[in-house]
Chains A and B, each alone.
Chain A
Amino acid sequence: MVITNNSLVQNTTHKVVIPFYAYAALSFLAATVLLFFSGNAFTQHYFHPHTLAITHTMALGWGTMIILGASHQLVPVLIEAKLFSNFLAYTSFVLAAVGIPMLVCSFFHFQMDWIAQTGGILINAAILCFIINIAMSIRKSKSQNVHAVFVITASLWLLTTTIIGLLLLFNFTKSILPEDSLHYLSLHAHIGIVGWFLLLVMGVGSRLIPMFLISKYDNRKELWLIYFLVNGALISFIVLFFSRVDVVLYILPLLAALLALVLFAKYCYKAYRHRIRKQVDEQVKISLLSIAMMLLPVVLLLVLIVLLVFSFADAKLALAYGFSIFFGWMTAIILGMTFKTLPFIIWNKVYHNKAGLGKTPSPKDLFSESVFNKMGIAYLTGFCLFLAGVLLSSVITLQIASVLLLITAVLYNFNVMKMLLHKPLIK
């Protein structure tokens, strides 16, 4: 007989997490299919129905869904407490899973009617369920730490983003805001990008990257500084936005965000330097690369602001900026981290009760490393080519790049499905 104590936090059941991963994988595929058929949209203004549809598929279906799924698994581990409610997690999934396609289809056909509005309401309800679940889990926890504060703050920014998004949807049909929806687009987008994606990636990444590198590096003070810089940058941006000040002042929040990024990159570099295991696998390498890729949109935004100071609005640069976020660092980190988290979730599901019954495969044996490497090459080539295509307004380059990104999504889905359908090798 084996007796064990309960010092380990009970993992969230795979039944909660897996639907989010599967949905995100299919959304990534859908976004690249849309990209393939909408190459022309990327030679025009960013307020284009197809661009809006692709952006929301990427931001909600791909980025947000996978982060919500991973958060249900990671937050209990970070705060050392059980997830408050599986029911709220399932509800959150169902609401978002129904709401996102309603919104995306409406954007694609640019019909901002009741379907879009219902989709927006469902997405807001999903985020609300997620926040209640995370907040209640944290409330019941004995240990609150900086990573959990990053997650809950990021979740509140996500809710702010989706509420603004909903207001913008209603503003298309009824003038409920002083200006048209296009005016508030940068506010909606930046709260989502900086407050949700950036803050969450930093909070969770600062825990996961040292863990996967087996590094003992930890610097709470630096993480708190990063936290205040990112939030300070975002709040000052919102204040400047409503104050209608000179565009040159937007440099200030941008510099604060840049400083936070540099500090975060330094944090990851130090974790890398202090790692115990010398071998770094491809999944961690692509995640580390994504941190370097965070600097690209900052540089593009800096150029955009400088051009705006001289009253020169460059639509191509604005498109490249958005693309470098959603298909750039955000996608890179998800491509890497999926194969550092999902194999463990599946391994625990399949082999947890088979300890000692025979030789079990390791988690990384559950997906094809060679397919992963091919996916990495297709992704990096496709990303660079697409960016060049946007900047050069070259339709042929955009088409070649979109094929490569479509191949990336197919290979990603192949590996994700291979893991999800994995059958135990021992009985």
Chain B
Amino acid sequence: MNEVITNNQEKCDQALAALHHVIDPEIGLNIVDLGLLYQIDFDEGNKMIFISMTLTTQFCPMGDSIRSNAGTAMQHAFPEYTIDIDLVFDPPWSQERISEQGKHFLNRE
């Protein structure tokens, strides 16, 4: 089940739409359908967005690039906010987090 915890569902949907363009270069699937996003919270007072996300493996050589791309995509979508991205590996990513569209994409023979 691919659920992102948030304190603002409307803005979270905008954020997910922006992050939908960030692709894991090795897998070829976007990070939303891959289920890499755990939490997106908005602090309207301080104009901050806190993103908690993971990678398919802690050993991912593209991790830094995926995180940079996510930051750039969010900055474009929310130019007036400061984006704080926290990479976490607890809980570890599991295939259960892949969305139905993502599973369909990966199951192509």
- Name A's B-contacting residues (CB within 8 A): 1-5, 7-8, 11, 73, 77-78, 80, 207, 211-212, 214, 216, 276-279, 341, 344-345, 347-348, 351-352, 355-357, 360, 362-363
Contacts and interface: CB of A to CB of B under 8 A. Distances in A.
Contacts of B65: 347-348, 351-352, 355
B13 to A, nearest CB: 20
Contacts, number: 99
Interface in B53-104: 56-65, 67-69, 71-76, 82-89, 94-95, 98
A392 B28 CA distance: 47
A5 B23 CA distance: 21
B62 A344 contact: yes
A11 B27 contact: no
Nearest to B105: A277
Nearest to B71: A2
Contacts of B94: 216
Nearest to A357: B72
Given A362-B28, A363-B25, A352 B84 contact: no
Nearest to A362: B25
Contacts of A214: 27, 56, 95, 106
A361 to B, nearest CB: 9
Contacts of B95: 214, 216, 276
Given A2-B74, A4-B87, A352-B68, 20 more contacts: A1-B83, A2-B83, A3-B82, A4-B85, A7-B88, A8-B63, A8-B64, A8-B87, A73-B61, A77-B59, A77-B61, A214-B106, A216-B94, A276-B95, A277-B27, A278-B109, A344-B62, A351-B65, A352-B64, A360-B25
Nearest to A276: B95
A214 B27 CA distance: 8
A3 B85 contact: yes
Nearest to A363: B25
A266 B51 CA distance: 39
Point out which of B65, B71, B86 has the most chain A C-beta atoms below 10 A from its C-beta: B65
A277 B104 CA distance: 10
B107 interface: yes
A249 B62 CA distance: 48
Nearest to A147: B59
A5 B50 CA distance: 12
B61 A279 contact: no
A344 B84 contact: no
Interface of B: 23, 25-28, 56-65, 67-69, 71-76, 82-89, 94-95, 98, 106-109
Contact of A276 (B28, B82, B85, B106): B106
Contacts of B23: 362
Contact of B64 (A11, A78, A216, A357): A11
Contacts of B89: 7
Contact of B71 (A4, A77, A341, A357): A4
Given A211-B57, A214-B56, A355 B68 contact: yes
B86 A356 contact: no
Contacts of B85: 2-5
A253 to B, nearest CB: 32
Q: Which 8 A-B pairs have the closest CB atoms?
A: A356-B72, A2-B71, A355-B68, A355-B69, A3-B84, A7-B87, A2-B83, A355-B72
A384 B25 CA distance: 35
Contacts of A363: 25-26, 62
Nearest to A215: B95
A348 B27 CA distance: 16
A3 B69 contact: no
Contacts of A7: 86-89
A355 B57 CA distance: 21
A278 B69 contact: no
B61 A348 contact: yes
Nearest to A352: B65
A279 B94 CA distance: 19
Contacts of A4: 67, 71, 84-87
A78 B71 contact: no
A237 to B, nearest CB: 33
A278 B98 CA distance: 14
A363 B27 CA distance: 10
A5 B86 contact: yes
22 contacts: A2-B72, A3-B85, A4-B87, A5-B87, A11-B64, A73-B61, A77-B61, A216-B94, A277-B106, A278-B106, A278-B109, A279-B109, A344-B62, A345-B61, A347-B25, A348-B64, A348-B65, A351-B65, A352-B65, A355-B65, A355-B71, A356-B68
A211 B62 CA distance: 12
B108 A278 contact: yes
Which of the listed residues A2, A345, A348 has the most CB atoms from chain B within 10 Å of its own CB?
Answer: A2
B68 to A, nearest CB: 4
Contacts of B74: 2
Nearest to A3: B84
